[in-house]
A and B are shown apart, each in its own frame.
Chain A
Amino acid sequence: MNVGMEQFLEVFFEEAEEHLANLEHLLLTLDVDAPDREALNGIFRAAHSIKGSSGMFGFDDLTAVTHVLETLLDKIRSDQIALRGEMIDVFLQARDVLAQLLACHKYQSVDPGIPVEGTVARLQALIDSHSEMSTAAVEDSAYGLFTEPPAQTDEEAFGFFDDNAGQTVADTADGDAFGFFEDQPGAPQAPSASTPDEAYGLFDAEKVSPTEDAFGFFDEQPDAPVAPPEMVVETPSYGVYAKAPGSPTIPAAAVPVSDSNVSTEERRSGDRRSTDRRAASSPPAVPRPTGDSESSSIRVSVEKIDSLINQVGELVITQAMLAQLTAGLDPAVFEKINQALSQLEHNTRELQESVMSIRMLPISFIFNRFPRVVRDTASKLGKKVELILQGEHTELDKGVIEKLTDPLTHIIRNSVDHGIEMPAERIAAGKPEHGTVRLSAFHQGGRIVVEINDDGKGLARDKILAKAREQGMAVSDDMPDSEVWQLIFMPGFSTAEVVTDLSGRGVGMDVVRRNISAIGGRIDIESLAGHGTRITIRLPLTLAILDGMIVAAGTVHYVIPLTYIIESLQPKADDIRSMRGSQRTVIRVRGEYLTLLSLHSLLNLEGEPPVPWQAIVLILEAEGRKFALLVDDLIGQQQVVIKSLEQNFRRIDGITGATIMGDGSVALILDVDALPRLASHGELVNESCE
Chain B
Amino acid sequence: MNPASDNNSSEPVQEFLTFTLGSEEYAIDILRVQEIRGYDQVTAIANSPAFIKGVINLRGAIVPIVDLRIKFNLPSVTYDPFTVVIILNVLNRIVGIVVDSVSDVLALMPNEIKPAPEFGGSFDTQYLMGLATVEERMLILVNIEQLMSSQEMALLNEGSDA
Contact = CB atoms under 8 A, between A and B. Distances in A.
A604 B42 CA distance: 17
A654 interface: yes
A313 interface: yes
A360 interface: no
B56 interface: yes
Interface in B56-112: 56-57, 60-64, 93-95
Interface string A310-340: 1001100100000000000000000000000
B57 A664 contact: yes
A647 B157 CA distance: 11
B116 interface: no
B155 interface: yes
Contacts of A313: 60
Given A310-B60, A660-B57, A655 B43 contact: no
Contacts of A625: none
Given A556-B44, A644-B62, A651 B157 contact: yes
A635 to B, nearest CB: 15
A665 B93 contact: no
Nearest to B90: A648
B90 to A, nearest CB: 10
Interface in A634-683: 643-655, 658, 660, 664-668, 678
Contacts of B46: 602-605, 652, 654-655, 668
Nearest to B45: A652
Given A604-B46, A666-B55, A668-B43, A647 B60 contact: no
Contact of B62 (A317, A645, A678): A645
A646 B157 contact: yes
Nearest to A652: B45
B47 to A, nearest CB: 6
Interface residues of A, number: 30
B13 interface: no
Nearest to B154: A650
Contacts of B48: 652
Residue among A314, A605, A643, A648 with the most chain B CB within 10 A?
A648
Residue among B45, B64, B160 with the most chain A CB within 10 A?
B45
Contacts of A647: 61-62, 93
A566 B154 CA distance: 35
A444 B80 CA distance: 52
Sort chain B's interface into a size bin.
20 to 34
B47 A604 contact: yes
A313 B153 CA distance: 30
Given A603-B47, A658-B43, A667-B43, A650 B156 contact: yes
A540 B46 CA distance: 26
Nearest to A557: B43
Contact of B45 (A602, A643, A655): A655
B64 A649 contact: yes
A615 B63 CA distance: 32
Nearest to B65: A649
Residue among A605, A645, A653, A665 with the most chain B CB within 10 A?
A665
Contacts of B10: none
B9 interface: no
A666 B43 contact: yes
A645 B154 CA distance: 13
Contacts of B155: 649-650
A654 B60 contact: no
B155 to A, nearest CB: 6
B41 interface: yes
B157 A665 contact: no
A527 B146 CA distance: 52
Nearest to B61: A648
B97 to A, nearest CB: 13
A556 B93 CA distance: 25
Contacts of B54: 666
Contacts of B42: 666
B150 to A, nearest CB: 13
B43 A648 contact: no
Contacts of A605: 44, 46
Interface string B132-162: 0000000000000000000000111100100
B94 A668 contact: no
Given A314-B60, A650-B155, A645 B55 contact: yes
A653 B158 CA distance: 12
Residue among B43, B93, B154 with the most chain A CB within 10 A?
B43
Given A668-B43, A668-B45, A649 B62 contact: yes
Nearest to B156: A650
Contacts of B60: 310, 313-314, 317, 643, 660
Nearest to A653: B47
A496 to B, nearest CB: 22
Contacts of B41: 665
A645 B64 CA distance: 9
Contacts of A650: 64, 154-157, 160
11 contacts: A310-B60, A313-B60, A556-B43, A647-B62, A649-B93, A652-B45, A652-B47, A655-B45, A660-B60, A666-B62, A678-B47
Given A605-B46, A648-B61, A668-B43, 16 more contacts: A310-B60, A314-B60, A603-B47, A643-B62, A645-B55, A648-B94, A649-B55, A649-B93, A649-B155, A650-B157, A658-B55, A660-B60, A664-B57, A666-B42, A668-B55, A678-B47
Interface of B: 41-48, 54-57, 60-64, 93-95, 154-157, 160
Instruction: State the 6 A-B residue pairs at the shortest beta-carbon distance, nearest first.
Output: A603-B46, A666-B43, A649-B64, A648-B93, A658-B62, A648-B94
